[in-house]
């Protein structure tokens, strides 16, 4: 049996305190260096003003319910404000059900004063009953500003379940 006296207990208390402070500082500095990986549901996308009547929302995200017109939506991001922020990857999960029109998304990095830093467009190619991924790999530059993504959704058809839609979009960033 080991006996502890008051001084041993005080030393252990100090060691534990120092270890906890060290772990807290380490976590504070390291957490800012970790990549962020965020997934958004397609329902976060909102229709452009003149496309409100063409859009519906559901379990599978934002969808075009017009049988004659393409609909446009804007999809927001919540990014930290950091001079070192880089977008390393963005993936949009879509369903393209139109035989001759494609789902298309344009991702734009917008500087604080409104100018375009970079812009990338990705589109599907042909209708398919299952989902497709639109993958963006932006340039390795810092984003001191915001991101804007606008997507076009083709009209309703009889192929598959008929609606083209955005189910999710995922962004990966580094600080």
Q: Please report, for the domain that includes residue 107, its CATH number.
A: 2.60.120.260
Q: Residues 111, 71: one domain? A: yes
Number of domains in the chain: 2
| Cα 166 from chain centre | 12
Residue 152, beta-bridge partner list: 72, 104
Mean pLDDT of the chain: 84
State which residues form the domain around 128: 35-174
Residues constituting the chain: 175
Which pLDDT score is estimated for 10?
57
Provide the 10 A C-beta neighbour count for residue 127.
20
* Lowest-confidence region among 4-8, 32-36, 37-41, 84-88: 4-8
Based on the fold, state whether residues 90 and 21 are members of the same structural domain: no
CA 161 to each of CA 31, 51, 83, 84: distance values in angstroms, whole numbers, following the listed order: 43, 21, 44, 43
CA distance 152 to 166: 10
Residues 93 and 155 in one domain: yes
Q: Where are the beta strands (DSSP E) in 61-144?
A: 61-64, 71-75, 86-95, 104-111, 116-123, 131-136
Same domain, 92 and 16: no
Average pLDDT over residues 57-74: 95
């Amino acid at each position: 049996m080991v006996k502890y006296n008051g001084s041993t207990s005080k030393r252990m208390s100090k060691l534990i305190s120092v270890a906890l402070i060290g772990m807290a500082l380490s976590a504070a500095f390291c957490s800012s260096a970790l990549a962020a990986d965020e997934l958004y549901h397609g329902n976060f996308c909102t229709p452009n003003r003149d496309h409100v009547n063409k859009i519906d929302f559901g379990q599978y995200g934002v969808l075009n319910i017009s049988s004659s017109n393409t609909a446009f939506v804007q999809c927001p991001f919540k990014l930290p404000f950091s001079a070192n922020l880089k977008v390393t990857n963005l993936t949009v999960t879509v369903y393209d059900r139109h035989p001759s029109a494609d789902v298309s998304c344009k991702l734009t990095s917008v500087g604080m004063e409104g100018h375009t830093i970079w812009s990338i467009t990705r589109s599907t190619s042909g209708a398919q009953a299952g989902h497709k991924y639109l993958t963006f790999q932006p340039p390795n530059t810092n984003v001191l500003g915001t991101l804007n993504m606008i997507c076009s959704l083709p009209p309703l058809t009889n192929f598959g379940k008929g609606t083209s839609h955005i189910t999710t979009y995922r962004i990966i960033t580094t600080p």
